[in-house]
């Protein structure tokens, strides 16, 4: 993992000191709320329905066990004993006080964590494939490049007051587990025909009011030119992005209105003007980072899988868990284990302080002290010996963290919605809880197969509803909560924006509607066909009929 | 009004903004709009231009006065709102593409807490808004001793430079 | 219909309701209700408290009943009674998915 050196630490300490001073000036009345708000937002501190909310960055989704322990400590000390892992590889604390927020940030800084640029119109926390460094299909470790971007973008003098927020995601694998095409910039690590490492660059994706799948702007960018190219993209955006209308201010609108080709041409012209020396990513820096992210040697254990099969036979629940919650590791005999933060009827992405402490201990025992955070609001232990899986599973069961539902109907993505968020139109969490309860039978969920349900409490789409197989959007209709249903979105691997099926539903109706959609699929599917395949084959027609016919 | 330099110290103003220019010179230390600049001055008269400054709003495009830029004594970029960050990119461009080396001044709606971003983007002075003081700008400039990016103000210690020149005193 | 005044307290962000004089309470039950024709004065109390840096984002809320104050807006009921998602700690321990408290009298 990346280790902060004294310079990283100096910068972080100075940031905490600066914020402490800003908070003091606000509390003393030297700063008005209007002046203070952008400053606190740049430190991840929002004012939400019930209190201040602090959003802590988990850079490219990687946490050490010590960092997780600190998050648990924060939840216990400054919050009400829990935190919410989000789709942006952040954790949000919902019950924070302004007066003690500087102390909180100081505590975080002791383990190199912070809330810098987790809000505001700047370059946000870089997200990456949570399987980084462990996946078999990986060309290069995306964390190396994410760290390069983190350093470049932190307190960037020129790009801290952009037209709107700016999100960058990196994947190093063929399978896209970071939804890169729904980001302002999506970077996919590739090699060209000569074997040179570089990136395919997608620019102008996003969700919100105008969901757009990012077009390819450059099919091959040599790795050493990464920062020079990002600099050019950001400058073109800062110069030309709209500032007159907040809903048209994201780079996706600029790329869309200019056309991908002329946008690419303008970026290329800016790129050519830049001094290659100044922004070149040097080999020695990359190899320094490569060493930091290199895994200690894992001894291959090719025989592990057979003894595992015996165990699975003994416990069907373990069998289900092994099927849905583990993924092959690049080293034989190891698994990537997903810890489900989606207990049946639970709050998607929430974890208690006790659970966080326990996960940290499990990471130390079973996964080289490493933890990952996924954008689907689960946690991952990336390097688990298959010989340890049974013990680990038992421990996770005890903690209510082993629900065998990863990628299935109850693995729902949900934003905080009206229960916490001041921008919300409707609640998201209770809807997800009721849907989860409705599909409580885990054998049935496994029978239904891969199903991606996502819920947002308003059109900002923090719950990625556009990209869910089944997407639910909360709207406000004359003071009543209503829910719109979209079908056909794709967020894993492929990127696709779902389409609205028809008129919305009330709170009870939406839960029934989801069930109707699933049962319709079960009657339509051919052998081995997944939900999204059936939908692609039949179109929305038969689903619409079942949903609206007997109304 | 108070002008602060890259160290956050108040300095002599030296320039005045004028809305029109008498045809007979000499013109010493005047700041004009791009239109007046183009109407009243010859782009090749570098001696006269060194005594002239131009004031650009966020909507003005520096490329329209490109031929004047290298000779000007001062360029002032006016912030329409402290959240509108266009002047940061304009500053970078003026320094880098136009090789402008004289005074580059930020004015308008800027916050003391932005001082470091201004200076590192290439501004060399700030016209301090009435509700703030030079001390506040100075204090904010002192908040950081390190930065990740290389920037125009190479007097600041850059993490990048330091990493290369100092043995890593990594986290104990 | 009558109105009450609410805001978030600057220091800790807590939801507070204007009760009387300088007193803002965390309990909606303590909120002072005024008739519609006094809303402007009520809002002025909020602006003054913002000016003194005691609260932020003050606004008047229309209520359908006054004792206790009841807003027809779910958002306001969640602000006064907390999230409707159930007690996470309890949920983690007990697999009880039945009871789910709702914000406000009838959620
Ligand atoms: C509770 C406080 C939150 C607020 C005030 C908030 C605000 C917003 C806003 C205004 C947008 C729309 C941006 C735009 O289209 O320009 C947005 C988008 C987004 N937010 Fe949030 N959000 C919150 C929580 C979250 C959470 C909890 C997550 C993760 C679960 C999240 C992840 C995202 C994502 C993924 C997008 C859409 C992608 C994009 O187009 O940027 N946000 N948020
Ligand atoms: S989608 Fe809307 S309701 Fe949900 S967190 Fe984002 S802003 Fe809040």
> What CATH number does residue A507 fall under?
3.30.413.10
Here the tokens at position B56 are 């650009």
CB neighbours of residue A329 within 10 Å: 23
Is residue A357 within 8 A of residue A324, CB to CB? The reply is: no
Q: Is the pLDDT of residue B160 over 70?
A: no
Instruction: Note whether A56 and A114 are within 8 A (CB).
Output: yes
**Contact predicate A382/A345, CB 8 Å:** no
In chain A, how many H helices and how many E strands?
19, 20
Contact with chain B for residue A18, Cβ under 8 A? yes
Domain of residue A348, CATH code = 3.90.480.20
Task: State whether A70 and A45 are in the same domain.
Answer: yes
- pLDDT for A214-230, tens place per residue? 999 999 999 999 999 99
pLDDT in tens, B23-57: 666 678 999 999 999 999 999 999 999 999 999 99
Residue ending a domain, choose from A47, A74, A109: A109
Considering the domain architecture, whether residues A177 and A272 belong to the same structural domain is answered as yes
**Nearest CA to CA, how far is C6 from chain A (Å)?**
12
Is the domain of A240 the same as that of A185? yes
- Structure confidence at residue C87 as a pLDDT band (50, 70, 90): low
Give me the residues paired with residue A472 across strands.
A455, A485
Question: Is residue A543's pLDDT more than 60?
Answer: yes
Do the beta carbons of residue A161 and residue A213 sit within 8 Å? Answer: no
Ligand 2 centre and the CA of A71: distance in Å? 23
Q: What distances in angstroms separate CA A543 from CA A134, A439, A495, A533, A538, one per listed residue? A: 39, 19, 22, 14, 9
> Distance of CA A146 to CAs A110, A124, A191, A227, B6, Å?
22, 12, 17, 11, 32
**pLDDT tens digits for range A354-376:** 999 999 999 999 999 999 999 99
Distance in angstroms between the alpha carbons of the first and the last residue of chain B: 48
B94: containing domain: 2-143
- Tell me if the bond preceding C68 is cis, omega within 30° of 0: yes
Task: Please say if the pLDDT value at position A312 is more than 90.
Answer: no
* Per-residue confidence (pLDDT) for residue C86, from 0 to 100: 80
Residues A262 and A156 in one domain: yes
pLDDT value for A112: 96
Per-residue confidence band for A6, with pLDDT thresholds at 50, 70 and 90 = confident
pLDDT tier, A550 (very low <50, low <70, confident <90, very high otherwise): low
8 A C-beta contact, residue A122 and residue A162: yes
Looking at the fold, whether A160 and A232 belong to one and the same domain comes out as yes
Determine contact, residues B141/B159, Cβ cutoff 8 Å: no
Query: A205 Cβ partners below 8 Å, 6+ apart?
Result: A180, A181, A182, A183, A184, A186, A212, A213, A214, A252, A495
**Residue C79: its pLDDT value, please?**
95
Q: Is the pLDDT of residue B13 over 90?
A: no
A196 within a domain of the structure (yes/no): yes
Chain A contact present for C90, CB below 8 A: no
Query: In which domain, by residue range, is A537 found?
Result: 413-548
Please give the backbone phi and psi of residue A72, each rounded to the nearest 5 degrees, phi first. Answer: -60, -45
pLDDT of residue A231: 95
Q: What is the pLDDT of residue C103?
A: 32
Give the number of domains in chain B: 1
Query: Before C91, cis peptide (omega within 30)?
Result: no
* Residue A508 within any structural domain of the chain: yes
Q: Do B159 and A22 touch (CB under 8 A)?
A: no
At residue B147, the pLDDT reads 86
Assigned domain for A119 exists: no
Residue A431 lies in a domain: yes
**pLDDT for residue B166:** 41
- Per-residue pLDDT at B162: 45
CB-nearest to A7 from B85, B96, B159 is: B159
| Band of residue B167 on the pLDDT scale cut at 50, 70, 90 | very low
Q: Residue A140 has what DSSP assignment? A: S
DSSP letters for A68-91: HHHHHHHHHHHSSSEEEE-TTSEE
Average pLDDT in chain A: 94
Same domain as A333, residue A277: no
- Sole residue written with tokens 């209770």: A430
If one compares A551 and C21, the residue with the highest pLDDT of the two is C21
pLDDT digits (tens, 9 = 90+) for C17-37: 999 998 999 999 999 999 999
- Tell how many helices (H) and how many strands (E) occur in chain C: 3, 6
Q: Which residues contact A65 (CB under 8 A, 6 or more apart)?
A: A360, A361, A363, A364, A369, A370, A371
- Asked if A343 has any chain C CB less than 8 Å from its own CB, the reply is yes
Question: How far apart are the C-alpha atoms of A257 and C98, rounded to whole Å?
Answer: 50
User: Torsions phi, psi of A428, nearest 5?
Assistant: -110, -45
Q: Does A277 touch chain B (CB under 8 A)?
A: no
How many helices (H) and strands (E) are present in chain B, helices listed first? 6, 8
- Pocket, ligand 1, Cβ cutoff 6 A: A 46, 48, 53, 86-88, 92, 164, 167, 206-208, 250, 415-416, 420-421, 423, 460-462, 464
DSSP conformational letter for A345: T
Please state whether beta strands B10-11 and B2-5 pair in parallel, antiparallel, or not at all (unpaired). antiparallel
For A96-114, how does the pLDDT look when each residue is reduced to its tens digit (9 = 90+)? 999 999 999 999 999 999 9
Residue A344, pLDDT score: 96
What's the longest Cα–Cα distance across chain A?
A: 68
CATH code (residue B115)? 3.20.20
* Total domains, chain A: 4
Domain boundaries, chain C: 3-98
Tokens of A116: 């810098």
Residue B86 falls within a domain, yes or no?
yes
Q: What is the mean pLDDT of residues A454-467?
A: 96
Across the range B48-68, mean pLDDT stands at 95
Task: Identify the pLDDT of residue B158.
Answer: 44
Residue A514 belongs to a domain: yes
Is residue B34 in a domain? yes
Contact B117 A157 (CB under 8 A): yes
For residue A87, which of A435, A336, A454, A410 has the smallest C-alpha distance?
A454
**Taking 70 as the threshold, does the pLDDT of residue B155 lie above it?**
no
| Same domain as A323, residue A285 | no
Average pLDDT of the residues in A525-546: 96
Within-domain flag for A128: no
Q: Is the Cβ pair A154, B148 closer than 8 Å?
A: yes
Does the pLDDT value for residue A13 go beyond 90? Answer: yes
Answer yes or no: is pLDDT of C88 > 80: no
Say whether C84 and A419 touch across the interface (CB within 8 A): yes
Is residue A146 situated within a structural domain?
Answer: yes
Alpha-carbon gap, residue A120 to A57, rounded angstroms: 13
Do A50 and C12 make contact, defined as CB atoms within 8 angstroms?
A: no
Same domain, yes or no: A142 and A288: yes
CB proximity A109 to B under 8 Å: no
Q: Are residues A289 and A310 in the same domain?
A: no
CB contact C83 to A (< 8 Å):
yes
Rounded to whole angstroms, how far apart are CA atoms A97 and A77?
11
CA of A120 to the centre of ligand 1 (A): 11
Rounded average pLDDT over A166-179: 94
Tell me which of A414, A419, A456, A484 to substitute to probe ligand 2's pocket, judged by most ligand atoms within 8 Å of the beta carbon.
A456
User: Which ligand gives the minimal distance to the CA of A207?
Assistant: 1
**CB of A165 less than 8 A from some CB of B:** no
pLDDT given for residue B153 in this prediction:
54
- Looking at the fold, whether A145 and A287 belong to one and the same domain comes out as yes
CA A377 to ligand 1: nearest atom: 30
Is C12 a residue whose pLDDT tops 80? yes
Q: What is the pLDDT of residues B94-141, one digit of tens each?
A: 998 899 999 999 999 999 999 999 999 999 999 999 989 999 999 998
CA of B73 to nearest chain A CA: how many angstroms apart?
23
Q: What is the overall mean pLDDT for chain B?
A: 86
pLDDT at A123 over 60: yes
Q: Which residues of C touch A51 (CB under 8 A)?
A: 8, 12-15
> Residue C59's beta-bridge partner residues?
C6
Asked if chain C contacts chain A via 3 or more Cβ pairs within 8 Å, the reply is: yes
Is residue A378 within 8 A of residue A338, CB to CB? The reply is yes
Contacts of A513 (CB under 8 A, 6+ apart): A485, A505, A547
CA distance A375 to C95: 26
A406: in domain: no
Are A250 and A386 contained in the same domain? no
A57 with A176, same domain: the answer is no
**CA atoms within a 13 Å half-sphere pointing along the CA-CB vector of A449:** 14
Q: Which of A249, A269, A293 is the last residue of a domain?
A: A293
In a domain, B114, yes or no: yes
Is chain B touching chain C, with at least 3 CB–CB pairs below 8 Å? no
Atom from ligand 1 closest to the CA of residue A167: 41
Residue C99: pLDDT above 70?
no
pLDDT for A551 equals 56
Query: Is residue B20 pLDDT above 80, yes or no?
Result: yes
């Amino acid at each position: 993992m990346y280790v902060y050196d004294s310079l990283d630490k100096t910068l972080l300490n100075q940031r905490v000191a600066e914020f402490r001073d800003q908070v003091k000036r606000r509390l003393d009345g030297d700063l008005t709320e209007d002046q203070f708000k952008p400053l606190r937002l740049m430190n991840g501190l929002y004012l939400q329905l019930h209190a201040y909310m602090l959003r802590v960055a988990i850079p490219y989704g990687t946490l050490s066990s010590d960092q997780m322990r600190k998050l648990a400590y924060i939840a216990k000390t400054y919050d009400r004993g829990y935190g919410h892992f989000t789709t942006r590889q952040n954790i949000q604390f919902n019950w924070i006080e302004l007066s003690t927020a500087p102390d909180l940030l100081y505590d975080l800084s002791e383990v190199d964590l912070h809330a810098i640029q987790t809000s505001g119109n700047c370059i946000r926390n870089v997200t990456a494939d949570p399987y980084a460094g462990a996946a078999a299909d990986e060309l290069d470790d995306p964390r190396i490049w994410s760290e390069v971007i983190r350093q470049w973008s932190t307190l960037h003098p020129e790009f801290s007051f952009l037209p709107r927020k700016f999100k960058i995601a990196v994947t190093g694998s063929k399978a896209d587990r970071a939804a890169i095409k729904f980001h302002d910039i999506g970077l996919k690590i590739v090699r060209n025909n000569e074997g040179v490492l570089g990136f395919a660059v997608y620019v102008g994706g996003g969700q919100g009011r105008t969901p757009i799948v990012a077009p390819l702007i450059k099919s091959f960018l040599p790795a050493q030119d990464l920062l020079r190219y990002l600099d050019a993209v950001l400058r073109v955006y800062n110069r030309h992005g709209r500032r007159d209308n907040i809903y048209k201010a994201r780079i996706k609108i600029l790329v869309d209105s200019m056309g991908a080709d002329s946008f690419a041409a303008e970026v290329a012209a800016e790129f050519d003007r830049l001094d290659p020396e100044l922004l070149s990513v040097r080999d020695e820096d990359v190899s320094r980072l490569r060493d930091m992210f290199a895994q200690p040697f894992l001894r291959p254990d090719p025989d592990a899988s057979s003894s595992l099969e015996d165990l699975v036979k003994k416990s069907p629940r373990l069998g289900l868990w092994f099927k849905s919650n583990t993924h092959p590791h690049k080293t034989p005999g190891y698994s990537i284990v997903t810890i489900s933060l989606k207990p049946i009827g639970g709050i998607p992405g929430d974890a208690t302080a006790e659970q966080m402490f326990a996960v940290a201990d499990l990471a130390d025992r079973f996964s080289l002290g490493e933890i990952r955070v996924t954008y689907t609001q689960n946690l991952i232990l990336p390097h688990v010996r298959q010989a340890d899986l049974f013990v680990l599973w038992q421990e996770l069961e005890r903690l209510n963290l082993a629900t065998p539902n990863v990628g299935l109907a109850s693995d729902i993505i949900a934003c905080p919605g009206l229960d916490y968020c001041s921008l919300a139109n409707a609640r998201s969490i209770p809807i997800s809880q009721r849907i989860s309860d409705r599909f409580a039978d885990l054998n049935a969920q496994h029978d239904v197969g891969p199903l991606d349900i996502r819920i947002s409490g308003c059109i900002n789409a923090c719950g990625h509803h556009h990209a869910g197989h089944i997407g639910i959007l909360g709207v406000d209709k004359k003071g009543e909560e209503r829910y719109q249903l979209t079908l056909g979105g794709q967020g894993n691997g492929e990127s696709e924006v779902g389409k609205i099926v028809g008129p919305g539903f009330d709170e009870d109706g939406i839960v029934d509607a989801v069930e109707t959609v699933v049962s319709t699929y079960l009657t339509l599917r051919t052998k081995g066909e997944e939900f999204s395949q059936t939908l692609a084959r039949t179109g929305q027609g038969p689903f619409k009929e079942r949903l609206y016919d007997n109304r | 009004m108070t002008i602060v330099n890259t160290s956050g110290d108040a300095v002599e103003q030296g320039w005045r903004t004028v809305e029109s220019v008498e045809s007979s010179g000499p013109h010493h230390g005047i700041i004009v709009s791009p239109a007046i600049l183009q109407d009243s001055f010859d782009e090749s008269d570098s001696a006269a231009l060194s005594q002239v400054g131009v004031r650009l709003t966020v909507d003005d495009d520096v490329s329209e006065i490109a031929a004047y830029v290298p000779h000007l004594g001062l360029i002032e970029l006016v912030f329409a709102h402290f959240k509108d960050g266009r002047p940061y990119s304009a500053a970078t461009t003026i320094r880098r593409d136009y090789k402008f080396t004289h005074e580059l001044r930020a004015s308008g709606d800027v916050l003391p807490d932005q001082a470091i971003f201004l200076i590192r983007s290439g501004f060399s002075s700030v016209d301090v808004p009435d509700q703030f003081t030079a001390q506040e700008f100075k204090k904010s400039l002192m908040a950081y001793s390190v930065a990740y990016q290389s920037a125009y103000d190479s007097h600041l210690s850059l993490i990048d430079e330091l990493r290369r020149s100092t043995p890593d005193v990594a986290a104990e | 219909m009558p109105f009450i005044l609410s805001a978030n307290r600057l220091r800790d962000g807590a939801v507070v309701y204007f009760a009387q004089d300088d007193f803002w309470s965390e309990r909606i039950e303590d909120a002072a209700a005024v008739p519609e024709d006094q809303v402007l004065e009520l809002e002025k109390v909020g602006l003054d408290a913002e000016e003194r840096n005691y609260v932020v984002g003050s606004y008047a809320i229309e209520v359908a009943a006054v004792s206790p104050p009841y807003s027809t807006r779910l958002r306001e009921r969640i602000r006064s009674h907390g999230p409707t998602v159930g007690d996470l700690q309890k949920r983690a321990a007990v697999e009880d998915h039945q009871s789910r408290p709702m914000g406000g009298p009838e959620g």
